[in-house]
Amino acid sequence: MGSIRPWAVPIVLLLSSSLGACGRGRPDTEWPRFVERNGRHALIVDGAPFLILGAQANNSSNYPSALDDVWPAIERLHANTLEIPVAWEQLEPAEGQFDFAYVDELLRQARAHDIRLVLLWFATWKNTAPHYAPSWVKLDNARFPRIIGKDGRIHDALSPLFQETLDADRRAFRELMRHLRAVDGDRRTVIMVQVENEPGVYGSVRDYSPTAEALFAGAVPDALTAALGGRSGTWTGVFGEDADEFFHAWHVARFIGQVAADGREEYPLPMYANAALRDPVRDQDPMSYASGGPTWNVIEIYKAAAPALAVLAPDMYARDHATAVAHFARYNRKDNPLLIVEIGNDAEFARFFFHVFGNNGVGFSPFGMDFTGYANFPLGAREVNPQALEPFAVLFEAFAPVARDWARISFEHPTWGVAKPDDNAMQTVALGRWTATVRYDQWEFGRSEWTWLPQEPSPLLDRESGGAMIAELGEDEYLVFAQNARIEFALQDSAAANGVIFDRVEEGHFTAGEWVMDRVWNGDQTDYGLNFTARPRLLRVTLATY
């Protein structure tokens, strides 16, 4: 078959039209960055769209002594990116004295393993607390004040309202980014940086210190009023019962946005903030989650306050399908690429791989993926060993060779993705003039309604895995990557033809952006729909009518 690269030309045009000097003589496009067009997103790495098939190490794996337990897991997973912390306490143990030994060793080892890095700047907020800040910060309440609750209680979380805290954090972050540019600007081992970790405060909606109270009594900043297109006035006057939370979100976002902006002045890598989540559907009292973090109800506030952040990323620990999918939808926006930097590492989370990458997501990284012996059940797996990695590894291994191609296609073409629902129900996806139905209750051969052939329930019913992602290449042509699912196609307008057949179903891969057919599926492999087994496969499907 000939080339199927209708997308190649537009990408080249897009990249060359945005070539530009970016200080110090280096073309902007050489550094990673996000691009958006027609609501579709791509993370550009080395000049082309890239997908993060990632893994996040455990929280305390950010030392050379732990790295030996990290790489075997990353390799076993077939990940292309490791997300790993850099703690403020290890970077600047004494004020003004910086130690880059760990960062340099991490870079050296990552390059040796041919793995990209996303660095997690654990500083003023780590799951809201300042525990990763150096002692000279986290123990000095006078200089770096903590949040004071409504009842006068002092909380662990630092307040975002104090200049000394902001200045100390951003000075250290600048040092990190300056160093990274010097030692990695030409290699781009590090492709992105997370600024803080799950910021906000638990158990109070905001800071109620005298400083905070004075600010809260004042007017909503013009920048926020303008961004929201609303009326001006006091926080309470404009936002009513949301005023406390929105006030805190604005100030936390401004703080993180300024840290990110300073860092980007040194080295303009893409930056993002991650969120501990709020219920995606039902109303929830901000006292019961990390108030002020980038929860879905304050995304507009973050976008206005922190333009240096390219992405707000939801940390996904919801196991049930409906809740997880609702969370994804909240963060998958024209102004926000879907980037999953944390997802539970238990087997049932692996199916969401299909949902994320099928819906133009740019990264998928299970959390706690190393062999340091720690497992974060009930958020993730009970035990992290080679066997526990398998549900993710099988997907990453099959998808890695085509991930760049999928990234390019999903930036240019409509795509869809579904993960197996908890009740095994059939899913129907509308694709142009076709529909695809995805079922998780079928054997590979035959039909469940055949009463003349004694049958048992399909083993797929009990499997935790399964899903499908589909890209439209042309009116009747689709790419399908799936696992443990049966996919059937029909015309949306069933009266438009006598019947529907596969013209051709090719299993294959891409080489240098060109489709290469490995074999043609036909007969039992297609007569009952496309039956994907536990071995994920990529198919190029041409549909026809008779």
Nearest CA to 254 out of 210, 204, 215, 202 is that of: 215
Nearer to ligand DGJ, 375 or 500 (CB): 375
DSSP 488: E
Quote the least distance from Cβ 198 to ligand DGJ, whole Å.
4
Nearer to ligand DGJ, 47 or 203 (CB): 203
The contact mask relative to ligand DGJ for 330-369 (x = CB under 6 A, - = no) is: ------------x------------------------x--
Nearer to ligand DGJ, 367 or 489 (CB): 367
The contact mask relative to ligand DGJ for 421-460 (x = CB under 6 A, - = no) is: ----------------------------------------
Quote the least distance from Cβ 365 to ligand DGJ, whole Å.
11
Q: Which residue number places its CB atom closest to ligand DGJ? A: 376
Nearest CA to 365 out of 109, 77, 110, 107 is that of: 77
Quote the least distance from Cβ 342 to ligand DGJ, whole Å.
6
Nearer to ligand DGJ, 84 or 238 (CB): 84
Quote the least distance from Cβ 430 to ligand DGJ, whole Å.
35
Nearer to ligand DGJ, 275 or 468 (CB): 275
> Which residues does residue 545 pair with via DSSP β-bridges, in sequence order?
500
Does 315 sit near ligand DGJ (CB under 6 A)? yes
DSSP 238: H
Q: Which two tokens stand for residue 498?
A: 């006598």
Nearest CA to 312 out of 326, 328, 299 is that of: 299
Answer yes or no: are the C-beta atoms of 56 and 367 closer than 8 Å. Answer: yes
Q: Which two tokens stand for residue 301?
A: 């506030």
Crossing angle of helices 101-112 and 163-184, rounded to 10°: 40
Quote the least distance from Cβ 409 to ligand DGJ, whole Å.
31
Q: Which two tokens stand for residue 342?
A: 């944390």
DSSP 221: P
Nearer to ligand DGJ, 304 or 324 (CB): 324
Q: Which two tokens stand for residue 295?
A: 């929860």
Nearest CA to 359 out of 327, 329, 385, 398 is that of: 329
Nearest CA to 121 out of 261, 271, 311 is that of: 271
Quote the least distance from Cβ 199 to ligand DGJ, whole Å.
10
Q: For CA atoms 395, 400, 405, 407, give the dihedral sign.
A: positive
Q: β-pairing, 477-483 with 434-439?
A: unpaired
Q: Which two tokens stand for residue 117?
A: 């890095």
Q: Which two tokens stand for residue 183?
A: 């030692």
Per DSSP, the three-state class of 336 is: strand
Among 127, 345, 359, 458, interactor with ligand DGJ by CB under 6 A: 127
Answer yes or no: are the C-beta atoms of 144 and 123 closer than 8 Å. Answer: no
Q: How far apart are CA 455 and CA 492, in angstroms?
A: 31
- Strands (DSSP E) along 134-263, which ranges? 146-148, 154-158, 190-197
Quote the least distance from Cβ 52 to ligand DGJ, whole Å.
16
The contact mask relative to ligand DGJ for 234-273 (x = CB under 6 A, - = no) is: ----------------------------------------
Nearer to ligand DGJ, 304 or 343 (CB): 343
Give, as ranges, the residues between 56 and 115 that touch ligand DGJ (CB under 6 A).
Answer: 59
Quote the least distance from Cβ 368 to ligand DGJ, whole Å.
6
Nearer to ligand DGJ, 49 or 294 (CB): 294
Q: For CA atoms 370, 372, 378, 383, give the dihedral sign.
A: positive
CB burial of residue 95 (10 Å; 0-12, 13-18, 19+) = exposed
Quote the least distance from Cβ 156 to ligand DGJ, whole Å.
15
Nearer to ligand DGJ, 169 or 488 (CB): 169
Nearer to ligand DGJ, 58 or 209 (CB): 58
> Letter for the amino acid at 443?
W
Nearer to ligand DGJ, 132 or 162 (CB): 132
Nearer to ligand DGJ, 120 or 473 (CB): 120
Quote the least distance from Cβ 247 to ligand DGJ, whole Å.
24
Q: How far apart are CA 533 and CA 341, in angstroms?
A: 27
Quote the least distance from Cβ 125 to ligand DGJ, whole Å.
10
DSSP 399-461: HGGGHHHHHHHHHHS-EEEEE--TT---EEEEETTEEEEEESS--SSS-TT-TTS-----GGG
Binding residues with ligand DGJ: total (CB under 6 A):
9
Give, as ranges, the residues between 167 and 226 that touch ligand DGJ (CB under 6 A).
Answer: 197-198
Quote the least distance from Cβ 256 to ligand DGJ, whole Å.
14
Which residues bind to ligand DGJ, rule: CB under 6 A?
Answer: 59, 127, 197-198, 315, 342, 367, 376, 379
